[in-house]
Amino acid sequence: MAEKKQEKFDTLKIHAGYDPKEHNYASSVPIYQTVAFGFGDSGRADRLVNFKEKGFSYTRMGNPTTAVLERRIADLDGGADAVAVGSGMAAVSYTILNLAEGGGRIVAAANIYGSSFDEFRTLFPKYGIHFDFIDDINDFDQVESAIKEDTKAIFVESVTNPTTAVTDVAALAQLAHRHGIPLVVDNTFPTPYLFNPIRYGTDIVVYSSTKGISGHGEVISGLIVDAGNFDFSNGRFKQFEEKEFVLGSEEEHEQRSFVEAFGNKAFIARIRIKYLRLFGAVLSPFESYLVLLGIETLSERLAKQVASAKKIAEFLAITPHVKAVQYSGLSDHPQHELVRKYFPRGVGAIFAFEVNGTEEQAKKILDSVKIFSYLPNVGDARSLIVNPGRTTHREIPSVNKKQSGLSNTVIRLSIGLEDVDDLIGDLDQAIHKAFE
């Protein structure tokens, strides 16, 4: 099943990466709840630990349940290889470290998720990795002028959290490649069902699969997919070309570089062997199983959620106490053409609206909803509501918040699987309460 890449999304989401014959014909992917795997014999042990033979030895570096998830997401995205990690933030962090380890710069959109922005602004500089933030990532002159000798990548979100601004991925990929650097896209909000960044030239895709991919608000997890097209031996990334003890032995003539050992799968192999093995934010087999279970219904969940989101956004757009609806899925949104190009199935089920009133009134809406859950997550089967300026995006400086339209009267919604009319009714009564 794993090799049949020509199959369509809905077949791959159920079968990709899993061959029941190799698992006692179990119909559901078994959970390999084990730390270690027997070497078998000393010859095989030598080959496994030197990465000369594929196989499992220790779950921090790989596990058969997790391997199914990794192959499945790679196939859904059309990538060469993928690796699962312990959270979306681990996926973001390991990707940046793998690209700019030892020092360098990354060009990044300024209107990204709060913790990513905080990490890039305040933590990575302490590791010698510096960021050039771009206010409008679709202003290509601004992006191009920020690229320097030691720039290692461009980092963007395909659809931003929470204002749903859309990034022109194809144009940015071309720009990045002209400068010999890869494009990294955080595709958490659309999930692979709504958008395939690799099809438009993206090199590395990262996910918080905590969100829509798993889809039930029950598992923190992250995924990294490599398209397998970028040449990491182009001279800018010496960490991929240097000889490694871990890929051979102490004898220099036996050592190999990641590019020599893994070819176009070097990026993911390096995350697994350097970052999972040594930094250790591994996803457990049980959590991999939960993410796999979520993926089985990804299309069905997203299709319903997107349809409901559109209806709710349209309702809010004509509600007197709403100043603006921040949802690029609406037909009068300035980015509508870009949305039509990239998102034929809709731009997503998460969006924001600005209350035409005080922050107290916005808080009253949060306190008055009965079906929506007030909590810091998105992409759940349940509908969620939050004030991002005070919570999920609190660590973004106010000047940046202002630029991306994130005031304290902005409310973010993540639409779940409940009846859409009940959801509209819930928002309607909460808004009325806030303004009575």
CB of 218 to ligand PLP, least distance (A): 12
Q: How many residues in the shown chain lie near ligand PLP by CB under 6 A?
A: 14
Closest to ligand PLP by CB, 48 or 292: 292
381: contact with ligand PLP by CB under 6 A: no
Cβ at position 222, least distance to ligand PLP in Å: 6
Q: Does 85 bind ligand PLP (CB under 6 A)?
A: no
- Give the E-state strand segments of 88-244 in sequence order: 104-109, 129-134, 151-157, 183-186, 204-208, 222-226
Q: Which of 212, 222, 346, 348 binds ligand PLP (CB under 6 A)?
A: 222
Residue 187 DSSP code: -
Which stretch, 3-11, 53-61, 81-89, 240-248, contacts ligand PLP (CB under 6 A)?
A: 81-89
Rounded Cα–Cα distance for residues 393 and 406 (Å): 9
Closest CB to ligand PLP among residues 191, 335: 191
> Token pair for residue 43?
């010859």
CB of residue 241 to ligand PLP, shortest distance in Å:
30
- 210 sits near ligand PLP (criterion: CB under 6 A): yes
The least distance separating ligand PLP from the CB of residue 258, rounded to whole angstroms, comes to: 25
**Binding residues for ligand PLP restricted to 140-159, rule: CB under 6 A:** 157
CB of 377 to ligand PLP, least distance (A): 7
> Is residue 87 involved in binding ligand PLP (CB under 6 A)?
yes
Binding span for ligand PLP by CB under 6 A among 82-90, 100-108, 144-152, 284-292? 82-90
Contact between 220 and ligand PLP per CB under 6 A: yes
Per 3-state DSSP, the chain is made up of helix, strand and coil in percentages (nearest 5) of 45, 15, 40
Q: Does 164 bind ligand PLP (CB under 6 A)?
A: no
Say whether residue 88 binds ligand PLP (CB under 6 A): yes
**Beta pairing partners, 411:** 353
- Is residue 214 at the binding interface for ligand PLP, with CB under 6 A as the rule? no
Q: Which stretch binds ligand PLP (CB under 6 A): 23-31, 83-91, 97-105, 307-315?
A: 83-91
For residues 114 to 133, the per-residue mask of contacts with ligand PLP, x marking binding by CB under 6 A and - elsewhere, is --x-----------------
Of positions 186, 203, 354, 426, contacts ligand PLP by CB under 6 A: 186
Helix axes 285-295, 64-77, angle to 10 degrees: 30
354 is an interface residue for ligand PLP by CB under 6 A: no
Q: Measuring CA to CA, which residue among 231, 234, 222, 224 is closest to residue 266?
A: 231
Kindly tell me the burial class for residue 407, based on how many C-beta atoms sit within 10 Å of its own C-beta (0-12, 13-18, 19 or more): middle
Among 89, 276, 365, 386, binds ligand PLP (CB under 6 A): 89
CB of 134 to ligand PLP, least distance (A): 17
Pick the closer one to ligand PLP by CB: 156 or 423.
156
Q: Between 147 and 302, name the residue whose CB sits nearer to ligand PLP.
A: 302
What contacts 24+ positions apart, CB below 8 Å, involve 332-339?
335/165, 335/166, 338/138, 338/166, 338/168, 339/166
Q: By C-beta, is 406 or 431 nearer to ligand PLP? A: 406
Which one of residues 94, 113, 267, 353 is an interface residue with ligand PLP (CB under 6 A)? Answer: 113
Binding flag, residue 388, ligand PLP (CB under 6 A):
no
Strand 104-109's sheet: what is its strand order? 81-85, 222-226, 204-208, 183-186, 151-157, 104-109, 129-134
Supply the minimum distance, in Å, between the C-beta of residue 115 and ligand PLP.
6
Provide the residue type at 268 as one letter. I
List, as one string, the DSSP characters of 147-183: --TTEEEEEEESB-TTT--B--HHHHHHHHHHTT--E
Query: By three-state DSSP, how is residue 323 classified?
Result: strand
**CA 327 to chain CA mean position, Å:** 19
Q: How many CA atoms lie within 13 A of 429 on its CB side?
A: 11
Residue listed under structure tokens 């990026």: 267
What pairing do the DSSP bridges indicate for beta strands 151-157 and 183-186? parallel
Residue 130 pairs in a beta bridge with 105
Instruction: State the pairing for strand pair 129-134/384-386.
Output: unpaired
Task: Output the six-digit token pair for 10.
Answer: 């809905």
Instruction: Using CB positions, name the residue nearest to ligand PLP.
Output: 88
In the complex with ligand PLP, the residue whose CB is nearer, 92 or 312, is 92
Q: How far is the CB of 309 from ligand PLP (least distance, A)?
A: 16
* CB-based burial label for 143 (10 Å; 0-12, 13-18, 19+): buried
Residue 188 touches ligand PLP, criterion: CB under 6 A: yes
Query: Under the criterion CB under 6 A, does residue 161 sit at the interface with ligand PLP?
Result: yes
Task: For residue 170, give both structure tokens.
Answer: 């194809």
Sites of contact with ligand PLP (CB under 6 A): 87-89, 92, 113, 116, 157, 161, 186, 188, 208, 210, 220, 222
